[in-house]
Structure 1
Amino acid sequence: MQYELRYNVIEPKRNTYQNVIDRLGDQPATRYQEATLDVEPRENFHYRPTWIQDRELYDPRYTALQLTDPYSYADPRNFYYTPYVTNRAALHDEFGKTLSYLEGRDLLGRMPEAWRDVLGTVVIPLRHYESGAQLVTVAGARFAYGTSLEQCCTFAAFDRIGNAQMLSRVGIALGAGAGGVLTTAKQDWLTGEHLQPLRKLVEEIMIVDDWAEGLLAIDHVDQLIYPLLYTGLDEQALLTGAGAYSLFAQHLSTWYADQRKWLDALITAWNTDSDHGPANTEHLARIATTWQPRAQEAVAALATKLDGVQA
């Protein structure tokens, strides 16, 4: 008896998951759409938050900035768990290679003394700023309404811890151990005159009730710190014998460029929302009026310190 093997093509009953079909119809969908659209629960919660019982666990009213449909916003990077982890693993792998290069040739220790002071008294203490920014961003991860917003905040919160770790590793490399430079940097964060306006500002942002306002308040600080420290000083470092600074700073400026992609797209979505756009624009203007001058004041103290050290 002979048997003939044949291939049978089994047509799928549907092209994607039901949550995507409900929005886009039964058509092929991207992994990002399948991992994002309508994933966050909207009903059948077991309880309300005991500390604010007029809210649901997931509730759009945790911020004044509203979207008619939170899923009208999409992360332009199309990050869900797998591509995010892959991307960030590559970023930190490249940073590790850079740091190994700097350590192997003692390039951090051989920088001019003024640049070592810049690292020790201004840059390394900002690992505590990143830690504070992480707590602010975690509020967005918890209270943002809609997976499309929540997962961006979640990834950004992990990024902040990653930034703090990168700065810590530079401090360890600069001080030949975790004790010296990191301990001094912590003390500078607690008592250094040039850091107290920034520390006070971060602590006040951490207790803002509106998660989106806190996120944008930190962003107003980022918009000053990152161009100042990790972009503005880059060329000067190359011209004054501190190429080691430029080599590691490029990784932080690369992260900041990536951070801007999703955050700028979200601000645009708030401004142009069909129902809430005008109200959102007013709220965004108020947030800028409230926090931008304070951010400028805090970062000006850092800039003054930089001028003094480099002089």
Structure 2
Amino acid sequence: MVTGGAGYIGSHTVLALLEQGFDPFVVDDLSTGSRLAVPDQVHLYIGDVGDKDFVRGILRDRRPKSLMHFAGSIVVEESVRDPGKYFRNNTASTLALLESWIAYGGGEFIFSSTAAVYGMPETLPVSEDAPKNPISPYGSSKWMSEQMIRDLAAAHPEFRPVCLRYFNVAGADPAGRTGQRGPQSTHLIRVATEVALGLRGRMSVFGDDYDTRDGTCERDFIHVSDLADAHVAALQYLEAGGTPAAFNCGYGQGYTVLEVLAALEQVLGYPVAADRAPRRPGDPARLIANTDAIRRSLAWTPRRQELTAILESALAWQAALNR
């Protein structure tokens, strides 16, 4: 069972599950996801994962062995403006889903978390045991969910979760089957490719006075298909008897906003129109993953960690989407 499987990361993970011989089905309210992102052979249940009657009916009918939970809200800036939405969609809905899953007797559970739980880490690269000091309601909503998951796992031994903390996810399926959709994306690489293809006039670089190489934010970008593979690896880890855990999902290397734009311009052969803008609330200066734990514990080896590969797949998807 894949909640949010009609969304960006969820849809890539559905493809990865199919490729590894699993039989996924999707639960999504389509508020930000798209029916087009769900493969024809995968059943889609349309509804709210926080609706216990709806979820328990699906569990009763389908009897899934494992659950991957992607459904939620993800825009940091929006969470600062409307924190209630994030605590409802990310924390309260997750609790309702967990209660339904545990009442059903469910075991393996993969949770979509975020590097935003770390806030502004004092030491980089940041490891999983670093202090959790989220600086946005988005990060807080995910960290609260992680704490609920931890406590429920302690009380219910049959419930075995893995929390995957994403760093900056980008790119698209190399075969062009799915990618980022929707009109309101705030992801750097999605916005930059839209500008590059003439779908937006210009883009903003938020903040140029951070303590980084060039004054712009530095991030650890991970290709979405590598992240999807990490979800499959986490499920296989639990199936093999792995214990509850949390893992960073990144590459352990960072690029600044200006470095990403320069790399994109090199791929394109022409400049991308960008203006400087004030800092956005909730943005740390640098966020780089320590990936020792995931590489050591899961059978996961990234295959697409070159920034050029991420950019080229994002460009190809965006161009195909807007033909």
Normalised by the shorter chain, which TM-score bucket?
Answer: under 0.3
Q: Relative contact order (alpha carbons < 8 A, sep ≥ 6): 1 or 2 greater?
A: 1
Q: Larger % of helix: which?
A: 1
Higher strand proportion, which one? 2
Task: Give 1 or 2 for the bigger CA radius of gyration.
Answer: 1
**TM-score, structure 2 normalization:** 0.26
Q: Give the structure-1-normalised TM-score.
A: 0.27
